[in-house]
Amino acid sequence: MLVMCIGLAGFLMMHSIRVVAPQWREARIASMGAANWRGLHLLGSLLFFVFLNYGYGLARQSPELVWMPPSAMRHIGSLLLLVAFIFLAASFVPNNHIKAKLQHPMLLGTKLWAFAHLLMVGWLHTIVLCSAFLLWAIITFRSARRRGRVEVQPKAAMTVLTVLAGIGAFALFAFVLHVRLIGVAPFGV
């Protein structure tokens, strides 16, 4: 689990620079240019993400069960994940009411994703992963809200598209990609 924790800490650190060291970040962008900063940030994030995924795979080989969630938690968690995917879609589809109202739907989607998995899964490696992402999303969301609102001109058609995209992404991930990427079939399919 050490490799997973190194990857997790590094990945979340890369995504926390704006929160914990905004002046340092701005100075780096000013000195190296925005494109170079984005490239370096992407490279670091990908490197730590590879460590995180590799470590998660290693941790799954010798899992430690912390608790056995009641079966009802799978239903509650699945509903939360559906909403999380809609929130994630809202962060990419322009001019939708969800983004206009919530401002930072990706962070809220991340919170829901992490919380849902904490309800549904009792393995130590998953608890560590999801607890870290939940804490990170809570802190980052608070910081993002302090920076002010972004004005969005919402359109009903874009909101419908957002909801449909979120439902489609949820279905694709739940029924096809989760088992292929994670090795677990959420609905036993």
| DSSP 3-state of 88 | helix
The pTM of the full predicted model, rounded to 2 decimals, is: 0.92
Q: What DSSP designation does 62 have?
A: S
Domain ranges of the chain: 1-62, 64-189
Which stretches in the chain have pLDDT values below 70?
189
Query: What's the per-residue H, E or C state across 143-179?
Result: HHHHCCCCCCCCCHHHHHHHHHHHHHHHHHHHHHHHH
pLDDT digits (tens, 9 = 90+) for 100-135: 999 999 999 999 999 999 999 999 999 999 999 999
